[in-house]
Chain A
Amino acid sequence: MQLITCPWCGQREEIEFHYGGQAHIAYPEDPYALDDEQWAQYVFFRDNPKGPFAERWVHAAGCRRWFNALRDTVTHEFLAVHDIRAQHPLTTGTAPAAHQRKGQEVS
Chain B
Amino acid sequence: MTNPFRARGHGHIDRDTTLTFTFDGRPYAGHPGDTLASALLANGVHHVAGSSKYARPRGVLAAGVEEPNALVQIEAPFPEPMLTATTVELYDGLVARGLSGQGRLSGEPDPARYDTMHAHCDLLVVGAGPAGLAATLAAARSGVRVILVHELPQPGGSLLGSQELLDGRPATEWVGAVVAELDTCPDVRVLRRTTAFGHYDDGLVLALEKRTDHLGAAAPAHVSRQRVWRIRAKQVVYATGAYERPVAFDDNDRPGIMLAGAARTYLNRFGVLPGRQAVVFTTNDSAYPAVLELADAGVRVAAVIDARDDVPAHWRTACDERGIDIRAGHVVTGTSGVEHVSRAHVAPFGQGRLGDRQGIDCDLLLVSGGWNPAVALFSQARGSLRYDAAIGAFVPAQDLDAVRTAGSATGTFTLAGCLADGADAARRALSALGTTGPTIALPATSPQPDAAPTRVLWRVPSPRDGQDGAHQFVDLQRDALVSDVLRATGAGLRSVEHVKRYTTIGTAHDQGRTSGVMTSGIVAEALGVDVADLGTMRLRPPAVPVAFAAFAGRNRGELFDPVRVTALHPWHVEHGALFENVGQWKRPWYYPKADETMEEAVLRECRAARTGVAMMDGSTLGKIDVQGPDAGVLLDRLYTNMMSTLKVGRIRYGVMCGVDGMALDDGTVIRVAEQEFLLTTTTGNAAKVLEWMEEWLQTEWPDLRVHLTSVTEHWVTIPLVGPRSRDVLALVAPGLDVDNDAFPFMSWRAADVAGIPARVCRISFSGELAYEINVPAWHGITVWKALFEAGSPFGITPYGTETMHVLRAEKAYPIIGQDTDGTITPQDLGMSWVVSKKKPDFIGKRSFSRRENRRDDRKQLVGLLPADEQLLLPEGAQIIATSDIPAPPVPMLGHVTSSYRSDALRRTFALALVRSGTQRIGDTLYVPLDGRTIPVTVTDPVLFDKEGTRRDG
Contact = CB atoms under 8 A, between A and B. Distances in A.
> Does A touch B (CB under 8 Å) in the complex?
yes
Interface of A: 1-3, 18, 20, 26-28, 31-32, 34, 36, 39-40, 42-44, 56, 58, 60, 64-66, 75-77, 84-85
A43 B659 CA distance: 7
Interface in B664-701: 691, 694-695, 698-700
Interface string B48-82: 00000000000000000000000000000000000
B201 A39 contact: no
Given A2-B202, A75-B382, A66 B694 contact: yes
Given A36-B851, A39-B846, 18 more contacts: A2-B204, A3-B202, A3-B204, A26-B700, A27-B700, A32-B841, A36-B849, A39-B847, A40-B850, A43-B659, A58-B694, A64-B694, A66-B695, A66-B699, A76-B201, A77-B201, A84-B698, A85-B702
Contacts of B691: 18, 58, 60
Interface in B189-238: 200-204, 230, 232
A77 to B, nearest CB: 8
B700 A2 contact: no
Q: Lowest 4 CB-CB distances: which A-B pairs, in order? A: A31-B846, A3-B202, A2-B201, A66-B698
Interface string B622-662: 00000000000000000000000000000000000001100
Contact of A36 (B201, B230, B850): B850
Nearest to A64: B694
A64 B203 CA distance: 25
A84 to B, nearest CB: 6
Contacts of B841: 31-32
Nearest to A18: B691
Contacts of A77: 201
22 contacts: A1-B200, A1-B201, A2-B200, A3-B203, A18-B691, A26-B700, A28-B846, A34-B846, A39-B850, A40-B850, A42-B659, A43-B659, A44-B660, A56-B699, A58-B695, A64-B694, A65-B698, A66-B694, A66-B698, A77-B201, A84-B698, A85-B702
B825 to A, nearest CB: 14
Nearest to A44: B660
Nearest to A2: B201
Contacts of B805: none
Interface residues of B, number: 24
Q: A1, A2, A65 — which one has the most chain B CB atoms within 10 A of its CB?
A: A1
Contact of B695 (A20, A32, A42): A20
Interface in B841-868: 841, 845-847, 849-851
Nearest to B687: A60
Contacts of B850: 36, 39-40
Interface string B695-739: 100111010000000000000000000000000000000000000
B201 A32 contact: no
Nearest to A31: B846
Contacts of A31: 841, 845-846
Contacts of A34: 846
B377 to A, nearest CB: 16
Nearest to A36: B850
Contacts of A28: 846
A64 B660 CA distance: 25
Contacts of A39: 846-847, 850
A82 to B, nearest CB: 12
A36 to B, nearest CB: 5
A32 B698 CA distance: 24
Contacts of A1: 200-202, 204, 230
B297 to A, nearest CB: 48
Contacts of B849: 36
Contacts of B201: 1-3, 76-77
B235 to A, nearest CB: 14
Q: A27, A60, A76 — which one has the most chain B CB atoms within 10 A of its CB?
A: A27
Q: A20, A26, A43, A84 — which one has the most chain B CB atoms within 10 A of its CB?
A: A43
Given A31-B841, A32-B846, A75-B382, A43 B660 contact: yes
B847 A84 contact: no
Contacts of A40: 850
A88 to B, nearest CB: 13
Nearest to A60: B691
B847 A43 contact: yes
A60 B688 CA distance: 11
Nearest to B841: A31
A20 B364 CA distance: 62
B834 to A, nearest CB: 20
B203 to A, nearest CB: 8
Nearest to B661: A43
Contacts of B230: 1
Nearest to A4: B202
Q: B660, B699, B847 — which one has the most chain A CB atoms within 10 A of its CB?
A: B699
A84 B699 contact: yes
Nearest to B700: A27
Contacts of A56: 699
Nearest to A39: B846
Nearest to B659: A43
Contacts of A84: 698-699, 702
B52 to A, nearest CB: 36
Q: B202, B230, B694, B845 — which one has the most chain A CB atoms within 10 A of its CB?
A: B202
Nearest to A65: B698
A2 B230 CA distance: 12
A27 B230 CA distance: 41
Contacts of A60: 691
Given A31-B841, A43-B847, A85-B702, A3 B695 contact: no
B846 to A, nearest CB: 4
A35 to B, nearest CB: 10
Contacts of A43: 659-660, 847
Interface string B373-389: 00000000010000000
A37 B179 CA distance: 69
A28 to B, nearest CB: 8
Contacts of A36: 849-851
A49 to B, nearest CB: 19
Contacts of B699: 20, 56, 66, 84
A2 B203 CA distance: 8
A3 B850 CA distance: 42
Contacts of B694: 58, 64, 66
A21 B699 CA distance: 12
Nearest to B699: A66
Nearest to A28: B846
A66 B697 CA distance: 10
Contacts of B698: 65-66, 84
Q: B659, B846, B849 — which one has the most chain A CB atoms within 10 A of its CB?
A: B846
Contacts of B232: 3
Contacts of A3: 201-204, 232
A44 B691 CA distance: 19
A38 to B, nearest CB: 10
A65 B699 CA distance: 9
